[in-house]
Chain A
């Protein structure tokens, strides 16, 4: 919305105020100004001229020669191409050598062989509008020829381009007069009252009836006769143009101008088409329709408010008039409507019909119905001025629940000390007198009374600390209804820039950070710096197209949460697991990246994401009364129940007890009443993909060589080892089968039946003690691999962070390193290739190698290497037994004892059919002498 500085000047004295400097103050106190536009520079050399003669152009049919009186007794003949040119017109004349704001340069030159020293200008030439069809006719400018154009038409102006979003809560600011009130308050200058004097006729304009349930609060109307419809005076037309409204005719322009002045929309009907001489404001009836001014047929609903005549709707109340009754060139009698409607009803109808108009935009802000009367009177004044011969032939009919009244003012009680406290100012900075004056300038009434001050420091006069503030009707509809709303009124006039910045004085307490948040941060840094993975953040929505193409199904029974209004039909579900979106991201990167950029290790892409998955709550768990509901995974946001503060929960309970039942319903009971939220576990997903170079036969979707799959699996398990380290838990155990006695997750990430998991190359990720499942690691199913746009192998893992937090931590002890030389024994076990290295290692680790009879040795067993025979016929797993003794060197006899125990106590090893050759017990990792 544009605001005209020139027009503001009609309501408040702007003498000596620099509009551009003032714009910043206005932005900080009232509404955001998006831009300031100066109109006038470049128009100084444009003058008013009268066309005294018109002659044909000797060399062109479409051009004519206009002889002009340009004032001062001078006459000029210029070439003009406008068809509207006629003798007796007043037009803007631009002398040669001028560059107009539109960029047009006017020259003294020949036009088709005839000299033309200057030109006649259209709106567009002058940069005042987009009408270039003809000439800007300066009718109604009672000035001598030669008068500067701007002086004659008031076209020079400064426009503030107001950001409408910044005044959505201010019904009073949708008209210039309301803005002028703010300007006057900021400048501390008087606001001129609006002249509302108008000569009315007598009798009713129509039989007026306003239905009590019609959504109409107040409806005024009057009748004008003797109207001659024509263009409005140029001054008015140019003002409308500046404010962004297209001039139409004197009557319609007058309605628009008064709307822009008062903020209250108006409508003018051609009285001929108000059938039956009656207007009824009512709800639309079922099946009713209306052709609106824009030519569209609107199907109406009984929730809509309409203006109807004896035969049916003639206007969509507060939004748009009907096409049948609009003002036409031959209209002579006009019925004016000035009304106020229920803001929500207007908004709902406008929203439903997708028809937001200047009118509906204003009504939905909850205008003061008092504006309607002001607007009606201002319109009648204007109409009489712009349509000579017109007269008001009726009285001003006024009906509706708020007829004759408008919004009632409301009184709010507060204290000067409270206002100062909220702003952070002292009585010396903001005095009582200043406070009262500031409110007064904004139209608020202030009455003082003695009330005990909130704080003596903030009180100027204890006998006058209490305030009863009367909110003016134009602010009282919605905007200022609570004592807190008064703070802003004072603050913005005082100037927020004048408020002292003051550090809050707070209790020194260590902040609470949920363990989950700490874990996320630790994992992020570890995976990036320890494992060389790149963090991505992806959408919560899943792309159905990608899911279908790749065959990423979560598994039977794994429902996803649907979006009722998806942004695109492919994005209609929330992810139940992180892995599918991450897989799609790996594919995109393998396609887009040139590999070397993606990672330095050939053609790999290694990504991870930390984020929430969304699991719908099963119907049984949704009902808290249902048994078992408590067993659903807790939404652990890491927040303790109300922390016991120094004041304890007593104050809260007391406060809640005092509340009215419905207010209490607005707090805790409403919180309890709400629908259960879906489970939103925080997950970590890791994916490592490697692009393949096509098969030996040149086929695109080659089966990856086994070493590629093994390499990616190793990359993935390395990342998991980093995760375990960063999460302070013992190394994970990866097991194809769920370990006996392990606690499975209530919602597996991902579900083991998900179609994209490799059926045999996958493993549960379990805590080191094998008791807690924390996630799943897998290579992608060959079908998914084949569906990828590039030949590639991908390894994926997903971990539930709450499960990770719940698994037992790694004990951390600061033992001194052993001082005495130890010994290492490499033992190679020959096993079936169906046995995992991890299982073999676990079997060796299960043997009690370090009993008391083994000489108090400490034995640590580590995996060294696994060798698979070609063709997968045999497997050899080498483990290292690291032995150390307390206070002495390990001897060959010690090692013999350990090997004996392995031989005799290795029942699990025998069960798995492991063969091994007993190594020679050679002590030492290498010669090293203990410190003396």
Chain B
């Protein structure tokens, strides 16, 4: 091995190795390629690692210089690798930052979504309105007695209203309540007057079903008992209720006489048709008003049945058809959809 000066040969070789690795690192396309380069250069069997093992074969004078040069080479290559890795990472980051192909509009991942039944939604909303005004929110049995459903409500056995009610009678002599009013006297016995309460739930009528009639539907009853309860109070309470549940501060209401044995005076409450504004349309059957709920001042016989002296206690009561409210709110064309348990219908809510 001929040399002009000591160590010239390995210096040249190291220079060449360095140049080669410089080019190789610069050409490293990605992090994985760099990792391979790192192993090939600096790993246990890497080229530069192998150089170190040649130290012993060199003349003693060169050994120190060679060692230092290889060490420097190693440091330089390491530096290049790190620098290149940083550059690559920065480029990847920049590419991500600049990327306009990310599909942000892709439909949501397939996951099961549940739905609250529209009756439950509307019922909760109505309950909340009343609870916020200090009304108890109660729950009463669906199978109830003749006493609760009729007798206590001033509907004695001879009364024609019993036939009008189209009752389902049960084998045990009880009945499926025909109205949530069946809870009125229960509430009067459960709470010391004055109190106010609403009680929603299922009611049942023995009648043929069609798009607007169901044998099972939902109502909510409201009852307020106090020392002085007037038609003016009733009107105000109904207006407040309807403003909240129809979300319409300008809702127009009117009371007209209506006969129900358990209220006196009794009313049908109408709202100005919100479709035509009162001009008359098919929704209100050209009347300009929609019949919404029956209400009235609690009949003295009902107060008596509830253990309250009508000379000292008065009340108002109303019964609101929740099923009908749901149909109005969501434009449901057929009441039978509500209890059909059809997910294709329910998934809309």
Contacts and interface: CB of A to CB of B under 8 A. Distances in A.
A512 B137 CA distance: 7
Contacts of B254: 28, 496-497
Contacts of A112: none
B160 A364 contact: yes
Interface in B187-224: 187, 189-197, 202, 204, 206-209, 215-216, 224
A513 B297 contact: no
Given A488-B265, A589-B343, A668-B189, A29 B256 contact: yes
Interface stretch (B71-79, B81-89, B305-313): B305-313
A680 interface: yes
B113 A600 contact: yes
Contacts of A675: 145, 172-174
Interface residues on chain B, size class = 35 or more
A539 B347 contact: no
A604 B136 contact: no
A500 B264 contact: no
Contact of A637 (B138, B174, B208, B307): B138
B307 A667 contact: yes
A678 B142 CA distance: 10
Contacts of A673: 147
Contact of A565 (B152, B206, B229): B206
Contacts of A574: 143, 170
Interface stretch (A275-283, A464-472, A641-649): A641-649
Given A565-B168, A597-B343, A508 B134 contact: yes
Nearest to A605: B343
B131 A513 contact: yes
Q: Which of A574, A638, A656, A667 counts the most chain B CB atoms within 10 A? A: A667
Interface in A520-571: 521, 524-525, 527-529, 531-541, 561-567
Interface in B277-295: 285-287
Interface in A892-917: none
Contacts of A509: 134
A514 B139 contact: yes
B136 A671 contact: no
A616 B146 CA distance: 17
Interface string A761-774: 00000000000000
Contacts of A682: 139
Contacts of A532: 111-114
Nearest to A560: B171
A593 B344 CA distance: 7
Interface string B155-189: 00010100100001111111010000000011101
B233 A424 contact: yes
A561 B144 CA distance: 13
B341 to A, nearest CB: 4
A62 interface: no
B63 interface: no
Contacts of A324: none
Interface stretch (B30-38, B94-102, B115-123): B115-123
B137 A666 contact: no
A531 B113 CA distance: 8
B324 interface: no
B141 A680 contact: yes
Q: Which of B135, B257, B305, B306 counts the most chain A CB atoms within 10 A? A: B257
Contact of B343 (A347, A491, A534): A534
Contact of B342 (A565, A582, A588, A600): A588
A500 B257 CA distance: 17
Contact of B216 (A168, A491, A539, A648): A539
A585 interface: yes
Interface string A578-607: 000010010011001100011111001111
A767 to B, nearest CB: 23
Given A563-B169, A585-B341, A652-B192, A513 B137 contact: yes
B117 A535 contact: yes
A30 B115 contact: no
B124 interface: yes
Interface residues of A, number: 124
Contacts of B287: 34
Q: Which of B135, B142, B185, B196 counts the most chain A CB atoms within 10 A? A: B142
Contacts of B168: 563-567
B190 A506 contact: no
B297 A487 contact: yes
A656 B305 CA distance: 10
Contacts of B342: 588-589, 592
B39 interface: no
A449 interface: no
Given A604-B112, A675-B145, A535 B257 contact: no
A528 B116 CA distance: 6
A525 B190 CA distance: 29
Contact of B307 (A28, A364, A656): A656
Given A351-B163, A484-B264, A592-B342, A500 B174 contact: no
A462 to B, nearest CB: 19
B293 to A, nearest CB: 15
B116 A524 contact: yes
A884 B185 CA distance: 58
Interface in A168-199: 168-170
B349 to A, nearest CB: 9
A806 interface: no
Given A588-B341, A675-B145, A601 B268 contact: no
B16 interface: no
Nearest to B236: A501
Interface string A614-653: 1011000000000000000001011111111101110110
Given A168-B259, A488-B257, A532-B111, A678 B116 contact: no
B232 interface: yes
Contacts of A605: 343
Interface in A24-41: 27-32, 34-35
Contacts of A521: 124
B110 interface: yes
B274 interface: no
Contacts of A644: 192
Interface in B16-43: none
B141 A504 contact: no
Nearest to B208: A567
Interface string B335-349: 000110111101100
A589 B148 CA distance: 38
A536 B158 contact: no
Nearest to A483: B300
B7 interface: no
B270 to A, nearest CB: 9
Contact of A667 (B130, B145, B306): B306
A503 B236 contact: yes
B150 to A, nearest CB: 11
A32 to B, nearest CB: 7
B192 A643 contact: yes
A537 B226 contact: no
B304 A667 contact: yes
A487 B265 contact: yes
Contacts of A508: 134
B111 A601 contact: yes
A655 B307 contact: yes
Contacts of A606: 112, 114
B12 to A, nearest CB: 47
A30 B115 CA distance: 45
Given A574-B143, A645-B193, A668-B307, 8 more contacts: A422-B231, A511-B135, A588-B342, A597-B343, A601-B111, A606-B114, A659-B304, A666-B305
Interface of B: 110-117, 119-120, 124, 130-131, 134-148, 151-152, 158, 160, 163, 168-174, 176, 185-187, 189-197, 202, 204, 206-209, 215-216, 224, 226, 228-233, 235-237, 239-240, 254-259, 264-268, 285-287, 297, 299-301, 304-309, 312, 314, 338-339, 341-344, 346-347
5 contacts: A499-B232, A616-B172, A617-B172, A675-B145, A678-B174
